[in-house]
Chains A and B, each alone.
Chain A
Amino acid sequence: MHIYLPIAEMSVNIFLILGMGAAVGLLSGIFGVGGGFLMTPLLIFLGVPSPVAVGTEANQIVASSVSGVLAHWRRGNVDFKMGFMLLIGGFVGSTLGVYLFRWLQTLGQIDLVIKLSYVIFLGIIGGLMMAESVRAVMRARGKGHSRGRGKLHQHNWLHGLPFKMRFRKSKLYISALLPIGIGFFVGVLSAIMGVGGGFVMVPAMIYLLGMPTNVVVGTSLFQIIFVTANATFFQATLNQTVDVVLALLLLIGGVVGAQFGTKIGAKLKGEQLRGLLALMVLAVCGKLLMDLVLEPEDLYSIGAIGGH
């Protein structure tokens, strides 16, 4: 059964889209990641124009983050004050990101920038996760010696920045510029890559801000809702690249998949889980890298610039 996507302007098999939503939802449930970084490349591989893939995925992430944050909120795992600070940066960053997106589109370089960003970030994150899980497996086999728990976080120049603020929930006293800066950076990424940015935000919160891990995911989800909503709004108004039909289909598959994924994830071991996710991230990264370095079948490509 086919359905015509009004904005992507293509006809797709409805079950394929539902299935993709379910598969990515399942993975995001298992691994506790947003899944945008898998879904956007998948949509592009499927032939959805990359601006539409990015704009639509931002819209879908709004839904999955709302659904995800509620669970964390009930458990009190959201640091709202920190979330708002991240959000200030996120709003500015994602708005700027959409304008940047539009500018790159007119230059004909948007596909390149999307793919390059994916290769770089997936490469870094996938590599780090892989290294981490390999180390952990080695440790578990007793080859390495277990490190004792050190200080909650290290002090460095980042803690010398002005505009210090107290974040009770995160037990932190740091400069407000830090979360604003991180929020800004992730906002730009979110607009250009069509991701929530959790895979950058979460490590940044843990390693740069030194937030306790229990509030990291909830707080990250909380701000992702608003940043992706902002990106959705600007992609819709500036570029008209948000396909609500596609977003809804992905969403339906996604929420169902995520429910089963969470149950499966609970049964798997953390280290193996991280290794698997790392493999997957690196695979997507590899495929995109191939697209960039292998000589394309046709060196020429066409794009319409408005009809009459």
Chain B
Amino acid sequence: MASRAIRRGLASLGLALAVAGAAAGAYWFAPTPPPAQAAERLVADLDDHLVAITAGFTGTELLLFGSIDGEGEVVVVVHGPKEDVVVRRKDRVAGIWINRDDATFRGVPAFYHMAATADLQGLDLPETALSRHQIGVENIRLRLMPGQQAEGSESFAEALIRNKVRIGHYTRDPGVVEWRGGRLFRTTVLIPANVPVGTYTVETLLVQGGEVVSAQTTPLFVNKEGFGAQVFRAAHSYPAYYGLAAILIAGFAGFGANWIFRKL
């Protein structure tokens, strides 16, 4: 009993511990992947677990690499932190386009990217697996806020994805995971300049014969750092002092500008 509890604890920490002697395919129905049992089949890691948004940040590219043991295809799914998103639809009122109807979705990933060694058909995964692992933008789980009308929400859900793709937070076309010498794979994840901050999860899946046989989750932290981060924190933690400081800075800048140009 005790050893199982420890095992579960380690697995939930996301540590890829190999524990022998368990049926690999059966984890499907377990509520929380990844399975520690099958971890030796798949090893993956990011070149950097921290994306620091500093003053000069213009986006970056992360390298995800790893290896598999045996045959199979590799799928990589990157989820951003969850947020609530309201989708509004404009209607024409008196000749002007005005936001009328809206729908709010709960726990929507702020960022989504997916890449695979094969296209979706080539993976030959059943619908249940695609939606469980949210493989492909169509399979991102979009749940309405409780109390919202489900009727007609599909068009709002579609619009959510369309808008997220437009601003570069979702990618519609899956990226490519390249094979390097048989068992090694690598892919790059493009992190745009306007990336949402928070804790990301990078899920790497090993697919064999139409089944996900192994999965590994790697965390990725996107943080604001340096001067910009301090400004942001000050603005949110001490808004009144921040406001006063902003006024003082502007006031002194005004005095300064007047003084300088009077001397010139």
Contact = CB atoms under 8 A, between A and B. Distances in A.
A76 interface: no
Interface string B208-247: 0000000000000000100111011001100110111111
A297 to B, nearest CB: 9
Interface in A54-77: 59-60, 62-68, 70-71
A190 interface: no
Contacts of B164: 302
Nearest to B233: A6
Contacts of A232: 243, 246-247, 250
Given A11-B193, A295-B97, A302-B87, A255 B243 contact: no
A104 B156 CA distance: 21
A118 B155 CA distance: 32
A91 B162 CA distance: 42
Given A67-B254, A242-B242, A6 B86 contact: no
B254 A65 contact: yes
A273 interface: no
A251 interface: yes
Interface residues of A, number: 60
Interface residues of B, number: 65
B90 interface: yes
B246 A244 contact: yes
Contacts of B159: 298-300, 302
A26 interface: no
B137 interface: no
A228 B224 CA distance: 29
Contact of B249 (A108, A248, A299, A308): A248
A237 interface: yes
B58 to A, nearest CB: 5
A68 B90 CA distance: 42
Interface stretch (B16-24, B33-41, B98-106): B98-106
A60 to B, nearest CB: 7
A259 interface: yes
Interface in A235-285: 235-238, 240, 242, 244-245, 247-248, 251, 255, 259
Contacts of B86: 108, 302-305
A303 B196 CA distance: 13
Contacts of B92: 295
A148 interface: no
A142 interface: no
B250 A300 contact: no
Given A234-B243, A302-B163, A293 B96 contact: yes
A165 interface: no
B90 A229 contact: no
A3 B236 CA distance: 20
B113 to A, nearest CB: 18
B81 A3 contact: no
Contacts of A158: none
B55 interface: yes
A4 interface: yes
A172 B84 CA distance: 56
Nearest to B232: A6
Interface in A1-59: 1-7, 9-11, 59
30 contacts: A3-B55, A4-B57, A9-B194, A62-B247, A63-B251, A63-B254, A66-B250, A66-B253, A70-B255, A71-B258, A232-B246, A235-B243, A240-B239, A245-B228, A292-B96, A298-B163, A299-B89, A300-B89, A300-B159, A301-B90, A302-B85, A302-B88, A302-B163, A303-B86, A304-B86, A305-B84, A305-B85, A306-B83, A308-B84, A308-B107
Interface of A: 1-7, 9-11, 59-60, 62-68, 70-71, 108-109, 111-112, 116, 225, 229, 232-238, 240, 242, 244-245, 247-248, 251, 255, 259, 292-296, 298-308
